[in-house]
A and B are shown apart, each in its own frame.
Chain A
């Protein structure tokens, strides 16, 4: 089955700095790569996703890059703010309507 590895497990940055979280996957048939943000005690929420036919996608301060050959994808958050503090999960699946395999999560702390 699919195996998704996520690094780092914890990340602390100063407000205004950038944060990068990286994930690798094993199933070459995976085509859909979402990123979720989970605040303490709340449900995971989709913040950005990318499909395998695209190398990069950006939405304001958040961007995701995908290297399908190397089987890795990354989340980039620029100009971080304290409200960006949360646990971020990457995931991989064969379709965007199918089951996903999640990474172990990254706890991001943005210090004011």
Chain B
């Protein structure tokens, strides 16, 4: 159990186009999901917290108009990279919180999406 999927696993697009990445919790409901960006051989940088039914909370320095996040259901969050440029090329990973009855939770990661902007 507790599987998180991402689609697509990789995408190549032209500069100026928009790309949508989906993150799904397959066997549990997640009111909270996170979006990270990971550069080669570097750590996970939190971009935003995605909350079901409300606006995402962005980390400092992350452009909310460039990285649009929508969490319309308890099993799906989407990240849209608008007007993508080569510097947006990266590995994007989502995670979903599986909450426990006690109110805590465990973070499960998706497999990531490799975005290459030409």
Binding site for B on A (CB under 8 A): 1, 34, 36, 42-46, 89, 95-97, 99-105, 107
Which of B4, B49, B112 is A99 in contact with, Cβ under 8 Å? B49
List the A residue with the shortest CB-CB distance to B57: A99
What residues of chain B have their CB less than 8 Å away from a CB belonging to chain A?
A: 4, 32, 34, 41-46, 49, 60, 93, 97, 99, 103-112
Q: How far is the CB of B110 from chain A (nearest CB, A)?
A: 6
Report yes or no: A103 in contact with B104, Cβ–Cβ below 8 A.
Answer: no
Known: A1-B60, A44-B109, A46-B108. 10 other contacts (CB 8 A): A43-B4, A43-B111, A45-B109, A95-B104, A95-B105, A99-B46, A99-B49, A102-B43, A102-B44, A102-B45
Number of A-B contacts (CB under 8 A): 49
Contacts of A97 in B (CB 8 A): 32, 97, 99, 103-105
Report chain A residues within 8 Å CB of B110: 43
Q: Is the CB of A43 within 8 A of B112?
A: yes
Question: How far is B2's CA from A46's CA once the two chains are assembled, in angstroms?
Answer: 12
Are A104 and B42 in contact, CB atoms less than 8 angstroms apart?
yes
Q: Within 8 Å CB of B104, what residues of A?
A: 95-97
Chain B residues closer than 8 Å to A95, beta-carbon distance: 104-105
Are the C-beta atoms of B111 and A42 separated by less than 8 Å? yes
In the bound complex, residues from chain A placing their C-beta under 8 Å from that of B112 are: 43
B109 and A105 form a contact (CB under 8 A):
no
* Contact in complex: B106, A46 (CB < 8 Å): yes
Q: Which residue of B lies closest to A41 (CB)?
A: B112
- B31 → chain A, closest Cβ, in Å? 9
Q: Give Cα A96 to B60, complex, Å.
A: 21
Q: How far is the CA of A46 from the CA of B42 in the complex (A)?
A: 18
Whole-angstrom distance between the Cβ of A70 and the nearest chain B Cβ: 22
